[in-house]
Amino acid sequence: MTHVLLLAGTGEARAVARALRESGGFDVIASFAGATSAPADMAVRTRSGGFGGADGLTRFVQAERIDLLIDATHPFAAQMKANAAAQAIPVCHIIRPAWRPVAGDHWINCASLQDAVRQLPAQARAFLALGQRHLSAFEGHPAELWVRSVEASNTGTAMNWIIGSPGSAEDEAALFTEHDFTHLVCRNSGGNAGYGKIEAARQLGLPVLMVQRPAQPVGTIVETAEAALRWCKSMSEQDGG
């Protein structure tokens, strides 16, 4: 039995958990940061909360006799990726490809959220497609700011709230038109789930302030859950597992 620690929080993590379980021969613990009270059913054992830095992760890895570590965290989870990369056991990072601009896109690349704050014009009517904990960077910005959440929220910020979830390009274009947005602000997360807003901005000719990804960790990097499963199997075979 090969013991795998899966750093979760993404669709890729759910896919890896399912695939490892179906494959057999792997004992998997999926780990969540703890931001969500009820993480998606992973079909494997789960734990929640930070480990206590890279050293805390090392202690967990040793205590649970982990053989392989799969980092399936979000592309912007830089600290967790660095902590994973610092471990002495084999580590595989799943990092989905970044979105790339195509004809018709009008992207303004931003090195960081703070850079996006600086580059957003004061007279903009902007849709901030960002997680709630990233909104504080925009506090005090003179632009009219709109954010979306699946449930009513009160962060104490002077933002305008839309209740809803990311949708198709058509849905997003209708929303952008309804609210007369002039700018979209988002992070280059990659993947299909959030791409509707990018297509909508293209259709409407809106500028997108695109926050670039943090530096990638050093080590084994794959792009998909399938590739991570292949890595697990090959590492397990090498180990005689």
Binding residues vs ligand NAP (CB under 6 A): 7-10, 31-33, 35, 50-53, 56-57, 73-74, 76-80, 83, 131
Strand arrangement, sheet containing 2-7 = 45-48, 26-32, 2-7, 68-71, 91-94, 220-222
Residue 202 parent element (H or E): helix 196-204
CA distance 218 to 136: 30
71 or 182: CB nearest ligand NAP = 71
Choice between 121 and 191, CB closer to ligand NAP: 191
CB nearer to ligand NAP: pick between 10 and 182? 10
Compare residues 48 and 203 and give the one whose CB is closer to ligand NAP.
48
Closer of 79 and 234 to ligand NAP (Cβ):
79
DSSP string, 165-182: ----HHHHHHHHHHHT--
CB of 112 to ligand NAP, least distance (A): 14
For CA atoms 74, 78, 79, 85, the dihedral sign is positive
Cα 55 to Cα 3, 78, 80, 139, 149, distances in angstroms = 19, 16, 12, 35, 35
In the complex with ligand NAP, the residue whose CB is nearer, 95 or 145, is 95
Closest approach, Cβ 150 to ligand NAP, in A, equals 13
What is the nearest approach in angstroms of ligand NAP to the Cβ of residue 57?
A: 6
The DSSP letter of residue 205 is T
Q: In whole angstroms, how close is the CB of 95 to ligand NAP at the nearest point?
A: 11
**Rounded to the nearest 5°, which phi and psi values hold at 125?**
-120, 95
The nearest distance, CB 104 to ligand NAP, in angstroms, is 25
The CB-of-43 to ligand NAP minimum distance in angstroms stands at: 17
Beta bridge partners of 140: none
